[in-house]
Structure 1
Amino acid sequence: MAATIRLFTLSVLFLFPIFSLGFSPESPTDRHILVLVDDLAIKSSHSIFFKTLTDRGFDLDFKLAHDPKLALQRYGQYLYDGLILFAPSVDHLGGSLDLSAILDFVDSGHDLILAADTTTSDLIRDIAADCGVDFDEDLGALVIDHTSYAVSKTDSDHTLIVSDDAINSKVILGGKKLEAPVLFRGIAHSLNPANSLVLKVLSASPSAYSANPKADLSSPPALIGSSISLVSVVQARNNARVLISGSLDLFSNKFFKSPVKRFGSSVEHAKSGNEQFVSELSKWVFHERGHLKAVNVQHHKVGETFEPAMYRITDNLEYSVEIYEWTGKDWKPYIADDVQVQFYMMSPYVLKTLSHDNKGLYSVSFQVPDVYGVFQFKIEYQRVGYTSLSLSKQIPVRPFRHNEYERFIKAAYPYYGGTFSMMTGFFIFGLFFLYHK
């Protein structure tokens, strides 16, 4: 019995470092990532992409997607903080992994990168569909473009398309413009209009369409033009992030190093923009950019420093909060002019934009409304590419006590004057009536 207890203790101590690798708001890049592949050759054919992650401090665990020992959690604790699913053809995952396990992983606040190709299975399609992305259902279909494709001295493949129509967002793709167009060969997908959380990151050109290049085009394609999304991202309400690509080759060494020349253009780039595009996008997916935190939420009366248990109607108060953004290495002050606070009871009685000191401190002063009850200070900050901030702090507001009212109310001076003038007039009238003959 004692030996069993010692063995259990040692196993817990062994697993503790693994569990401690979980995502921490104080250190967002301390991450352990599971990479699932359907062929271990992907580890070498996509080695540049994986090296960019390890160079940034990520710990990658490579496993075959059908490994019977696969598990995302143990003893109720997740073993990984992110998942890269580079197994488009896998029909079912090994171990305890299935569709619901992957979705629960994301619902628990973890990140996911998913890549597809023409062999994409129903499992991969279902995962993408639950994230708001619908792949073209036509088996064998590829994105084809006869005007925006890559040309070389030996070949011109209209399924190897060139795109630089990327989302205009510094927080998602970084502040540096793409140095070269992105190469893409893969399947098209569209965004579910009912899902407001999914964003198109890389779009096809207006002349593109989705079809099987080996079959006759007997009917109009279902997906055409700029409605085709090549790469999309999702930021869930719990701030989990998902990247969905219709091309596994997008991440390959071959595409990273390949020169690019667009049809009809005389400009040839020494290498594609894939490495820059994928690296910057992966920084966003794994919270190295656009990750906000709010600390030191304070409120007090003007001229005081301590936080009261309640406010009185018409009190003047100050509200402040510090907001920082993770840079990948440390926290820096977040600078924005659109952070607002609500003084809320059933509906916002006060809505104020906070001013900042360029050092992360946001503050505002306002007067408590002439309504008593239980109020809340609320900040609901949601911007594209940034993790959402949802702050609330409850505080009661009371009316004046009986001994706190002013002795003489300025607004009542006319009524005071009317009363005393009536008394004076009555006194004069009485004297006149009694003594005047």
Structure 2
Amino acid sequence: MAAPKFAFLLLKLISVLPLLVTSFSADRPTDRRILVLLDDLSLKSSHSLFFSSLKSRGFDLDFKRADDPSIAVKRYGQYMYDGLILLSPSTDRFGGSLDMEGVLDFVDSGHDLIVAADANASDLIRNIAAECGVDFDEDPSAVVVDHSSYAVSETEGDHTLIAADDFIQSDVILGNKKIEAPVLFKGIGHSLNPGNSMVLKALSASSSSYSTNPSSKLSSQPPSLYGTAISLVSVVQARNAARIMISGSLDMFSNRLFRAGVQKSGSLNKYEKSGNEQFITELSKWIFHERGHLKAANLRHNKVGESEEPLMYRINDDLEFSVEIFEWSGSSWVPHVSKDVQVQFYMMSPYVLKTLSTNEKGLYHTSFKVPDVYGVFQFKVEYQKLGYTSLSLSKQIPVRPFKHNEYERFITTAFPYYGASFSMMAGFFIFSGVYLYNK
């Protein structure tokens, strides 16, 4: 009986190996599998443009209802998916083995996450967002209202359909092509946790917006969220390179708003198509590491005029340092070109800080003199820039003083002391001769 059981387990392992082999890696961020959890499978058709965009870029989507009992993101200790999309704002509990801790562990393992909420957002979705540094309005019925920046082309007088155009200023996150048309947003707002420096506003509300329950009577209490403090869409890049997108609107991903024309109130500009498709598509490229993903290779150092790395340096040696940095373009690695990459020669504190020159083909290099201090140093490259994955490189090298036979035979600055010594010896002989032979 043991042999058939072993054969069955081996067959199961072989069946899952292709999923594990094609998973995301820092060296090959492509051929990725994404689990999409939906409140209703009808969202596959109502939000098909968003899903088709992902499929056209080579992603393999696995659709499941959020309460499907077969849900599992890990098998045999390995994650089967590289990204997770939660378009299930009203779900109180995930099916299968997935729960809030499982989602957070998924992100902690370096995987990416997209969360969409709406006015029916459950405590589960709110808690996941809170763990990522985003706090939705405490009023479960509150939505974002704006009497100045609403979309007049959709529903005249519906001030909950906002035409937002306050985007994050980053070509890495939103692409090089400017988003001309406003983005249509209908949903709930959130604020950023001031204690979390990793979370950023990707789409902000205008100064005239506020969060309230539109069906309730007027209240004397001011809204808890208002003005530009309201974030409509936020992004997070964790220290482990995992990326997260949190939106307060599920409709924002829908075909209806992708195709809708838009005219912002108070503006004469009318657009045949909203900016939703461009905004979501470009932002998803960044979330899934199709842009802004860096890798470093070939960190090298050597004495000037030599090619081999020494085991140690001597104080005041002249050395050369180089490293190669590449960026993923979505299909291949291309040279990353920047003028702000620096290297530190570090021991307790940086003794040397140099900005690296680049040949614009991925190679960064510089040269400097080893400081007149001996000990154990490190070459350190700490590169952190908005929208890019951070690079943290280090290489240890000892620095020794001069040996006793490596000093110069005669030191120029010591000539006065040499002169004083010889003049004293000469004076001693003269004095001795005068003293002994003088009558």
Q: Note whether the superposition's TM-score is higher than 0.5.
A: yes
Q: Match of 2:167, SS?
A: coil
Tell me, yes or no, if the aligned pair for 1:24 and 1:30 is still in contact at 8 Å. no
Match of 1:152 in 2: 153
Q: Is the 8 A contact 2:71 2:96 kept in 1?
A: yes
Distance in 2 (CA, whole Å) between partners of 1:83 and 1:154 is 33
Deviation at 1:427, TM superposition (A): 3.5
Q: 1:216 & 1:424 partners in 2: Cα distance?
A: 109
Contact 1:340 1:353 in 2 (8 A): yes
Partner of 1:92: 93
What's the CA shift string for 1:209-239, capped at 9, x where partnerless? 0001111231100101001000000000001
Q: Which letter maps to 1:78?
A: Y
Deviation of the 1:6 alpha carbon: 2.2
Q: What's the TM-score once normalised by structure 2's chain length? A: 0.97
The 1:30/1:153 distance shift into structure 2, 3 A limit, reads closer
How has the CA–CA distance of structure 1 residues 272 and 306 changed in structure 2, closer, same or farther, with 3 Å as cutoff? same
Runs of 4+ in 1 over 3 A off after TM superposition: 425-437
* Deviation digits for residues 388-419 of structure 1 (CA, Å, limit 9, x no counterpart): 00101111112222222221222212211221
Note if contact 2:315-2:370 (Cα within 8 Å) is conserved in structure 1.
yes
Residues 225-304 of structure 1 mapped to structure 2, 5 A cutoff: 225-304=227-306
State the 1:259 CA deviation.
0.3
Structure 1 position 432, deviation (Å) = 4.8
Q: 1:356-387: CA deviations, max 9, x gaps? A: 11111001111112222211111111111100
Counterpart Cα distance in 1 of 2:218 and 2:334: 54
Partner of 1:305: 307
- Tell me the residue number matched to 1:354: 356
Between 311-320 and 323-332, the greater mean CA deviation after superposition: 311-320
The aligned amino acid for 2:273 is K
Aligned position for 1:4: 5
Aligned counterparts, 1:135-150, within 5 A: 135-150=136-151
Residue 25 of structure 1 deviates from its aligned partner by: 1.9
With structure 1 as the length reference, what TM-score do the two structures score?
A: 0.97
Indicate the residue corresponding to 1:422 in structure 2: 424
Q: What amino acid is aligned across from residue 80 of structure 1 in structure 2? A: Y
Query: Deviation of residue 431 (structure 1)?
Result: 4.4
Unaligned runs of 5+ in 1: none
State the distance in 1 between where 2:20 and 2:218 align.
53
Contact preservation (8 Å) 2:166, 2:205: yes
How many angstroms does 1:281 deviate by?
0.3
Query: What whole-Å deviation, never above 9, does each CA across 1:27-85 have from its counterpart, x for those lacking one?
Result: 21221000000100111110000000000000000000001111110110001000000
Deviations 1:119-166 (A, max 9, x none): 000000000000000000112111000011001376331000111100
Q: Counterpart amino acid of 2:139? A: D
d(CA) in 1 for partners of 2:277, 2:150: 19
Change (3 A) 1:190 1:154: closer
How many equivalent residue pairs? 437
Q: Does the 8 A contact of 2:190 with 2:232 survive in 1?
A: yes
Question: Partners in 1 of 2:81 and 2:316 — Cα distance?
Answer: 51
User: 2:393, 2:412 → 1: CA distance?
Assistant: 40
* 3-state SS of paired residue (1:83): strand
C-alpha contact (below 8 Å) 1:89/1:121 kept by paired residues: yes
Q: Is the 8 A contact 1:235 1:242 kept in 2?
A: yes
Q: Which residue does 1:32 correspond to in 2? A: 33
Amino-acid identity (%)? 67
Counterpart AA for 1:412: A
- Alignment equivalent of 2:329, drawn from 324, 327, 330: 327
Cα contact 2:154–2:262 (8 A) shared by 1: no
User: Which residues of 2 match residues 42-53 of structure 1 at below 5 A?
Assistant: 42-53=43-54
Specify the alignment match of 1:202 in structure 2. 203
Q: Does 1:102 align with 2:116?
A: no
Tell me which residue corresponds to 1:338.
340
Hey, what's the Cα distance between the residues in 2 that align with 1:394 and 1:208? Answer: 53
Contact 1:243 / 1:285 at 8 angstroms: preserved in 2?
Answer: yes
Q: CA RMSD in A?
A: 1.3
Aligned partners of 2:87 and 2:250 also within 8 Å: yes
